[in-house]
A and B are shown apart, each in its own frame.
Chain A
Amino acid sequence: MPAAPTTNFMKNSILSLTLILLSSSLFAQVWKSSENKVHFFSEAPLENIEATNTTSIALYNEENKQLAIVIPIKGFKFEKELMEEHFNENYMESEKFKNGKFKGTLDGDIDFSKDGTYETTATGILTIHGVEQKRTIKGTLIVKKGTLQMQSKFQIKLEDHDIEIPKIVFSNIAEVIDVTCDFSFKPQPKKK
Chain B
Amino acid sequence: MKQLISALALALLFAFSSHLSAQEDLMSMLEDEADANDDSRVYATFKTMKAVNFHTIEMVKKKSLDFRVTHRFGNMGSASGGGVHNIWGLDNSDDIRISFDYGITEDLQVGFGRSKRNELIDANIKYRILAQSAQKTPISLVLLANFGITPKRDLNGFYSKSSSRLNYVHQLIIARKFGERFSLELIPTHVYQNLRIKDNSGIDQHSILALGVAARLKLTQRVALIADYAYIASDYRRSHSSITYQDPLGVGVEIETGGHVFHLTVTNASGIVENNFLLNTTDDWTQGGMKLGFNISRVFNLNFNGKE
Q: Is A145 part of the contact surface with B, judged by Cβ < 8 Å?
A: no
Say yes or no: A90 contacts B258, CB within 8 Å.
Answer: yes
Say yes or no: B27 contacts A68, CB within 8 Å.
Answer: yes
Say yes or no: B40 contacts A74, CB within 8 Å.
Answer: yes
In whole Å, how far is A28's beta carbon from the nearest beta carbon of chain B?
A: 10
Q: Is B242 part of the contact surface with A, judged by Cβ < 8 Å?
A: no
A7 to B179, CA, bound (A): 61
Say yes or no: B18 contacts A66, CB within 8 Å.
Answer: no
Say yes or no: A172 contacts B258, CB within 8 Å.
Answer: yes
A74 to B135, CA, bound (A): 14
Say yes or no: B34 contacts A55, CB within 8 Å.
Answer: yes
A21 is contacted by which of B15, B33, B62, B179 (Cβ under 8 Å)?
Answer: B15
A58 to B30, CA, bound (A): 8
Say yes or no: B303 contacts A57, CB within 8 Å.
Answer: no
Residues of B within 8 A of A93 (CB): 180, 221
Q: Is B189 part of the contact surface with A, judged by Cβ < 8 Å?
A: no
Residues of B within 8 A of A55 (CB): 34, 37-38
Query: How many B residues face the partner with a CB closer than 8 A?
Result: 41
A91 to B85, CA, bound (A): 45
Residues of B within 8 A of A89 (CB): 43-44
Closest to B221 in A: A90
In whole Å, how far is A2's beta carbon from the nearest beta carbon of chain B?
A: 10
Residues of B within 8 A of A82 (CB): 61, 64, 259, 299, 301
A57 is contacted by which of B15, B34, B221 (Cβ under 8 Å)?
Answer: B34
Say yes or no: A70 contacts B34, CB within 8 Å.
Answer: yes
Interface residues of A in 50-78 (CB under 8 A from B): 55-59, 61, 64, 66, 68-70, 72, 74-75
Closest to B44 in A: A89
Mask, B148-177, CB within 8 Å of A = 1, is 000000000000000000000000000000
Interface pick from A95-103, A114-122, A135-143: A95-103
Q: Is B239 part of the contact surface with A, judged by Cβ < 8 Å?
A: no
A89 to B43, CA, bound (A): 7
In whole Å, how far is A99's beta carbon from the nearest beta carbon of chain B?
A: 6
Say yes or no: B4 contacts A103, CB within 8 Å.
Answer: no
Q: How many A-B residue pairs have CB under 8 A?
A: 111
In whole Å, how far is A105's beta carbon from the nearest beta carbon of chain B?
A: 11
Q: Is B8 part of the contact surface with A, judged by Cβ < 8 Å?
A: yes
In whole Å, how far is A102's beta carbon from the nearest beta carbon of chain B?
A: 10
A90 to B223, CA, bound (A): 11
In whole Å, how far is B9's beta carbon from the nearest beta carbon of chain A?
A: 10
Q: Is A156 part of the contact surface with B, judged by Cβ < 8 Å?
A: no
In whole Å, how far is B45's beta carbon from the nearest beta carbon of chain A?
A: 11
Residues of B within 8 A of A192 (CB): 18
Say yes or no: A59 contacts B62, CB within 8 Å.
Answer: no
Residues of B within 8 A of A66 (CB): 23, 26
B258 is contacted by which of A70, A72, A75, A169 (Cβ under 8 Å)?
Answer: A169
In whole Å, how far is A104's beta carbon from the nearest beta carbon of chain B?
A: 11
In whole Å, how far is B206's beta carbon from the nearest beta carbon of chain A?
A: 39
Interface pick from A9-17, A147-155, A177-185: A9-17
B31 is contacted by which of A70, A81, A96 (Cβ under 8 Å)?
Answer: A70
- The answer to whether A98 and B35 touch (CB under 8 A), given A17-B11, A22-B15, is yes
A68 to B1, CA, bound (A): 43
Residues of A within 8 A of B259 (CB): 82, 86, 169
- The answer to whether A81 and B106 touch (CB under 8 A), given A57-B33, A59-B30, is yes
Q: List 11 A-B contacts (CB under 8 A).
A: A7-B4, A14-B11, A17-B11, A25-B18, A56-B34, A70-B33, A74-B134, A79-B307, A93-B180, A101-B31, A166-B258
Residues of A within 8 A of B (CB): 1, 7, 10-11, 14, 17-18, 21-22, 25, 55-59, 61, 64, 66, 68-70, 72, 74-75, 79-82, 85-86, 88-90, 93-96, 98-99, 101, 103, 164, 166, 168-169, 172, 192
